[in-house]
Amino acid sequence: MGKNVFRMENMPGEMKDIVSLAKRRGFVFPSSEIYGGVEALWDYGPLGAALKNNIRREWLKTFVQKMENVELLDASVLMHPKVWEASGHVEHFSDPMVDCKNCKSRLRADHLDSNQCPECGGKEFTEARQFNLMFSTFLGPVQDEGHRTYLRPEAAQSMFADFRLVQEAMRQKLPFGIAQVGKAFRNEITTGNFIFRSREFDIAEIEFFVKPGEDEQWFDYWVDQWEAFFLSLGLRKENLRRYEHPKEALSHYSKRTVDLEYKFPFGWKEIAGIANRTDYDLKRHAEFSGQDLSFYDEETKEKVVPYVVEPTLGLERALLAILCDAYEEVKGGRTETTEAAKEKEVVLRLAPRLAPVQVAVYPLVRNKPELVEKAREVFGSFQKDFWCRYDETGSIGRRYRRGDEIGVPLSITVDFDSLKGEDVTVRDRDTMKQERVAITQLGDVINKRLSI
């Protein structure tokens, strides 16, 4: 546990800066930090929680709200134990592990290069054994094999198990999808790279049910949709690429898998994937449950077991990619004033609609009650529509930079002219342009900026 959960020593410099910003400004904390933290478990602080929530909201809007044939589900994390037998997870969801005979470290056998323990340099290991990555627990007070179940390692299985319930309740026809976003758990052996590989994470998945024979074209469609989603979140095209899994390396259920990879400071890594799961899951659940999970096609008067195309992504990985993509350091600062000239400045160029703080409101100085009162009034009038933050401490330049560092797209400053003219200064994070806007027009200006 504990010791140095950030594992910064092997990180590229830029990554260290992002990790330290994330902790300092309340995006991500180690879980149970007062006890030294726990590896691969993280807490999303005030800004991280808001950012993650904004990514989730965009995802729901794009794939559920705007799509007539995708239905939302929010299923339980714990399920009937048979689900995990049918899915193949009890049998297949494992990594080969060895123990170092010297220091007792448990290591991934397939990650051991040079046959040397990375912890102590030892060269003697136990025989490789399969270690299941699911967290196991018991349903009810009796802790025996008959009551064992697992925390779900993916959200997919409940969408297969509820396939017919959703289809009938919503009177959907093929093709249609079930979408779900929620917690999943994997007892990862190899951790590190900050929040990239976490033992508890939010997964956003769609199971898209199609007629057999139409699966390949729908697969291509979902790869395009998924990639477009990441681009819409502001990721740069050159930092995103597709990786086609070679046939021989496919999961037991998959006919084809394409990953979307992001160019993190620590290398190209998977942030999302699209798999053609064929009719594997529905057939297995039909077999294990004894229920008919086929779909009756009114047109052809035939029963078919649908094929499933599954696009999936991890919210935390998306969040990390977004942070890395948005992070920019400006040596010497962006402003010409003497105060800022020597400092390093950080600008987090988040897509405005994802920003955890959308609008900051500042009185020019805090020792003039009439300015504070006016600024408070402006702040109060926008709080219900936007994520606003009020800040009165420090010089105005310092407050702008504090806002830039967490990606606040728009800052509103209330000054002495505001008291007379009922207008304020609006400053844009990216251009640093300042313009005078009538308070009555502010809502429109903010809405326009946040639509990006």
The window from 117-125, 138-146, 184-192, 393-401 that contacts Zn ion (CB under 5 A) reads 117-125
- Residue 102 within binding range of Zn ion, rule CB under 5 A: yes
User: Pick from 55, 45, 60, 67: which is nearest to 353 by CA?
Assistant: 55
Cβ closer to Zn ion: 110 or 430?
110
Among 1, 8, 78, 103, binds Zn ion (CB under 5 A): 103
User: Pick from 439, 345, 418, 400: which is nearest to 17 by CA?
Assistant: 345
- Residue 105 within binding range of Zn ion, rule CB under 5 A: yes
Q: Give, in degrees to the nearest 5, the angle at Cα 410 between 344 and 415.
A: 95
- Residue 260 within binding range of Zn ion, rule CB under 5 A: no
- For the bound state, the minimum distance from the C-beta of residue 106 to Zn ion, rounded and expressed in Å, comes to 10
Between CA 156 and CA 273 the distance in angstroms is: 13
Among 117, 240, 388, 410, binds Zn ion (CB under 5 A): 117
Say if CB 424 and CB 361 are below 8 A apart: no
The window from 120-128, 135-143, 203-211, 303-311 that contacts Zn ion (CB under 5 A) reads 120-128
Instruction: Write the binding mask 122 to 141 for Zn ion: x where contact by CB under 5 A, - elsewhere.
Output: x-------------------
Cβ closer to Zn ion: 102 or 289?
102
3-state secondary structure of 138: strand
User: Pick from 13, 155, 152: which is nearest to 84 by CA?
Assistant: 152
Buried b (16+ CB within 10 A) or exposed e, 30-64: bbeeeeebebbbbebbebbebbbebbbebbbebbb
SS3 content of the chain, % helix, strand, coil (to 5): 35, 30, 35
In terms of phi and psi (left: phi > 0; alpha: psi -120 to 50; beta: otherwise), the region of 194 is left
- Residue 326 within binding range of Zn ion, rule CB under 5 A: no
Among 100, 159, 195, 210, binds Zn ion (CB under 5 A): 100
The window from 113-121, 200-208, 400-408, 425-433 that contacts Zn ion (CB under 5 A) reads 113-121
Cβ closer to Zn ion: 7 or 164?
7
The window from 67-75, 88-96, 111-119, 354-362 that contacts Zn ion (CB under 5 A) reads 111-119
Q: Which residues bind Zn ion (CB under 5 A)?
A: 100, 102-103, 105, 117, 119-120, 122
